[in-house]
Every structure is written in C-alpha cells, then in structure tokens.
Amino acid sequence: MATEVIMPKLGATMEGATILQWYKGEGEPVQKGEPILEVQTDKINIDVEAEASGVLLKQVYEAEAEVPVNTVIAYIGQAGEAVGGDPARSTATVNSETATVSTAAALQTGSGAEQTVSVSAIVGRPRATPSARRLAKLYGVDLLAVQGSGPHNRIQKVDVEQFVAVRQGDEPARAPAASTPTPAGVPRFSATVEQAQGTTESALPMPREATRIPVTGVRKVVGQRMASSAFSAPHVTLTSEVNAKEVVSLRNRLLPVIEAQTGHRLSYTEVIILAVARALRRNPMLNASYQGEYIEVYENVHVGMAVAVPNGLVVPVVRNADQKGLLQIVQECKQLAQAARENRLKLDQLSGGTFTVSNLGMYRVEAFTPIINMGETAILGVGRLVEKPVVVAGSVEVGPMLTLSLSFDHRVVDGAPAAQFLTDLCYLLEQPEQLIL
C-alpha cells in the first residue's frame, strides 16, 4: 500500500505552507529519511523527508502551491502501484455542512481536529498558484469564476489575465512598461481613465501608476501577529535613560578578549540580553504569559532577539540566558543572527521565547514603543547611545546615555512591578561588573 506524504504541522499556529521545490520527480526512487521537497512555513524553510523507501508515485501539488497542514502532498510506493485520488479535489466535493465540525466536537476527536481544520480550509477555495491569486486580488477577480488550465484545473496566472481581457473586451492583460524601476517579481499595473469608466468593476487599479508588493510569507505573518498583539494586549510603555559609561568601558575592555576566543565582536545587544535575563530572574512576573483564565509564569528564561530579515523580522531565542556567561551568549547570538539572515533557522530556535529584546541602536533611533511578541508579557526596546550632558556627583559632564523602552501587558503586571524590573535592569547596566560575577 502506498505511503502518504503529509504536509507537516510544525507549530500550534501553523496553518499551511508553500511548496518551494521538489527534489524528486514522479517515478524517481527515494530512500526513507531522504529530503524529497522543500516547503516554506510562516517562519522558516524546511525539507520534508520521505517516510518510506520506494518510488515517488505522485506529486499531488506543484511548486508554488499553498497547502494546508495535514494534507497529502505526495505518495511513495512500488513502481506501478495505484494511489489515491487528489485530496484537494475530492475534498472540494464534500458538502460544506458536513465538512465543518463544531469546535467542541473537534476537540473531542483529538488528532482528528487538525484534519477537520484542513478540510474546512479547502472547501470552496479554488486551486490556484500564488501568482494567480495575487493578480486576481489586484483586479478584483473572483477565482471561482475562472476556468483553470493547469493540472487538475489549477488556475494559472495566464488564466486570470485572459479572464480580465474577456471582461474588458481587450487583449490579455499585461503589465505595461514602467518609467520607474520595479522590484524583481513585483507586478506593476496602470489603468486609463477610459478603462476605469468603462467598467462596473470598482476593484480595478486606480488611474495612477503604483508598485504593489504582495503581503505574503514572513511579512504577512509579522503583520498578523503584531496586529493581534497590539489589539488584544493592553500595552503600557515605560522609558528610562541609562548612564552607559560603565557598559561602554566594560565592552572596550572585553572586546579583544572575547574576539580572540570566539572570533566575534562583543556588541551591546549581548550585554543587554544578559542583563535582561538576570533582571527577569529577579522579576519573574515579567517572564510570564497571559492565558485567559490564568497567568503562566515560566521557570526558564528564554530571551528572544529581534533580527531584521528581508520582508520582515524573526525572533531567534537564546535559551536559559540567565544561566549563561557573556562569552556563551555572544557565540549564540552571532550564530542565531547569521542563521536568520541566511534563512537557516530551525523551528526550535524560533520558539519558546519568554521575553524579547529589540535593539534599534544601530539606527538614528533614540526611543520607540515596541509591540509585545505574542505569548509573552513584555518586550524591551533599545535605542542608540547618545552623548549628553549628565550630572554626576554635583558636576556636569558629557556621557553616553541609552534609552530603554519597556512595553508590558497590563493584564499580567501593573506599573509598579514593571517599573521595578526596569529599575533593576538599569542598575545592572550602570554597574555591569555585577553581570560577570
């Protein structure tokens, strides 16, 4: 009997993934444990491995297809062996009333709940490539009205172009040559006033040129999660200035030592992460999560580090940061940041964070209001070091000042506990020798 290859569910919030490429074609031999395709989740790119040895009998979906989790994407078996039908196509024929199960019933069925979610997501949703969906959205086209020309009637980009052309009574719609550069892979459209007036469809592009960048992948996920956090958690932000004279001095002294041992340059981010971890140990309510009926206070301190990547940001996690020394934190932070920029982060490196640090000190940003990462209680925003007049022992001198912005969930903690955490953090940064004791 043929073995099904399933789109894996790698996290509680993962709903689907996009197939980037197939390493094996239909009819080619595969070995158990061998990667057969690459998929892109909302966080990382991963390889899906074969669960059995044999021949890749069928690819149910093509590259660029967006596939819900727990859906069959391929079959592996013996050459000539019969396989099941197209899961997506057969699912579409299921009566929507019987395909949708109540949440309570789904929870009672255990693992069947995930299968129910996958089925419901497919019902009534036509099969189309991502480029076709983007183009349809730009022109306001209902894909249910478009006849697909691809395998299993999958709607291609050209099908949408032809549909728009018929609707407008014109040649197939094409992106006109733009007078200004357009990013690679981004469609550019314009419409004349006459075209706009000659159609009853208000969804056509406005009579002006503009570059439209599809909101997909990491950018889409970041937007959804930040909006969800901003509108669900009551944010309060406290700010404080730190006299960073001693931190600067400590970094200058340790810089050659750490670079000689690790090959990496010590940054202020790593010092701040260590200080945050120690301050969280003293203030455990900031190392927690609001769960509706209860507040979950975490035993371990896992500090996330916001890293900018193309089209968004990711937050790799330094685990048990409060139990590590500065040398080890430098090594881990550099490795995580490099893996993030190269899109090589593993799922366990992106999950489990209990607090996040977002440092914009490399830009001309002195202070900002960060949004809490979902599932956490607080986030620290770090601005740039700025030389300012400082009063020290009754005298005015110029020194490096650093602004910290702490956003916290007011459902979990009140102002006083959050202020105590920020006070402890400032103390550790102004007396950084405490970090290496």
Any idea which residues carry the catalytic annotation?
Answer: 410, 414
Within a 13 Å sphere around the CA of 80, how many CA atoms are in the beta-carbon half?
Answer: 0
3 state DSSP class of 348: helix
Environment class of residue 130 by beta-carbon count within 10 Å: exposed (0-12), middle (13-18) or buried (19+)?
middle
Measured distance CA(110)–CA(99) in Å, rounded: 17
- The span from the CA of 70 to the CA of 67, in Å, is 9
Tokens of 330: 């430098």
CA trace torsion 113, 116, 120, 126 (10° rounding): 130
Residue 382 pairs with which residues in a beta bridge?
Answer: 359, 404
Burial of 131 (0-12, 13-18, 19+ CB in 10 A): middle
346: DSSP letter: -
> Do 407 and 370 touch, CB atoms closer than 8 A?
yes
DSSP string, 82-151: -----HHHHHHTS-HHHH---HHHHHHTTTHHHHHHHHHHHTT---B-HHHHHHHHHHT--GGGSPP-SG
Q: Which residue, 24, 113, 13, is CA-closest to 73?
A: 24
> CA 141, 187, 42, 374: dihedral to nearest 10 degrees?
-90
